[in-house]
Structure 1
Amino acid sequence: MNNKLINKRDNFGDIRKILMKALRNWYFFLGVLLITFAVAYFANKYTRPVWRVESKILVKSRTDANSAASFLYGTDISNNIVTEGVESYVLKSYPIIFKTIKELNFTHRFTVEDEIGPKLAYGWEPAEMQIDSAIEIMNYGKAFQFIVNDEGHFKFFAKEDQTNASTLYEFGQTVEYKGLTFRAVKKRNYDYSRVINQEFTFSLRHPDYITREYTNKLIVVAGPDGSVIDLALLGTIPEMEINFINKLIQVYIEDELERKNEQATKTINFISKELKRITDSLNLIENRKTTIRQKSSAQLSQSAVQLYNRLDDVESQSVQFESKLAIYQQLLTTINSSYNFDDLSGLAAIGIEDAGLRKLIDDLVNEQEKIDQAERGTGQNTNNPFIKRARDNVERLKTSISESVNNLVATTKQNKSRLDGRASRIRSEIYSAPGAQQSLVNIERLNLISENLYILYNTKKAEAEVAKASASTDIQVIDPPMPIGGPEKSDKRNYLIALFLGITLPLGFIIGKDFLSNKVAEKEDIEKHTNIPVLGQIWRHAKGKGMLVVHNNPKSVVAESFRSIRSNLNFFTSDVDHKTFVITSSVSGEGKTFSSINLATVFAFSSKKVVLIGADLRRPKIFGDFGLKNEVGLSNYLAGSAFKSEIIQATEIPYLDIISSGPVPPNPSELLMNNKMGELLGELRKEYDYILVDTAPLGLVTDAFILMNFADHTIFLARQNYTPMEAIKNVQDLYETGKLKNVSILFNDVKDQSNNYGYGYGYYEEKRK
Structure 2
Amino acid sequence: MLNFLTPTKYQVSVKVRNQTLTGTYDVGQWAPFPGMQLLLETVPGRALPIGDDPQYHFVILDDGSMNGYLDKNLDVTVVNPSANTIQISFTDNNPDKAAHIINNIDTVYLQEKLDRKKQSTALSLDFIDQVIADNDKRWRAAEEAQKEFVRRNKTYDVKGDMAALKGNLEKQQEDRQKLQDKLRLLSDISRLMNREQLTRNDDETVADNLPGITELEDPTLIGLLNELDGQQRSLRLTLKSQTDKTFAVQRNQAVIRDTRELLQRQLQQDFQLFQKQLARLDAKDAQLNNKLMAMPEKVTEQDRLQRPLSLYASTYQRLVDRKMDFNIQQAGTTPEFQILSPASPPSEPITPVRLLVYAIGLASGLLLGLGLIATRYLMHNTVTGIGELERGAKAAVLGVIPTYDKEKLEVSRLVVDKNPKASVSEAIRSIRTNLDFISPANKKRIISVTSTISGEGKTFVAVNLGGIIALSGQRVIILDLDMRKPKVNLAFDADNVRGISTILIERHTLAECIQHTGIESLDFISAGPTPPNPSELILNPRFDQMLAELHRSYDVILIDTPPVGLVTDGILIMRKADVPIYIVRANYSRKVFLKNLNRLMSNNQFTKMCTILNDAKAQNAYGYGYGYGYGYGYGNSNTGYGMGYYEESTQAPTLGQKIKSFFS
TM range (shorter): 0.3 to 0.5
TM-score scaled by length of structure 1 = 0.41
Which has the greater radius of gyration?
Answer: 2
TM-score scaled by length of structure 2 = 0.46
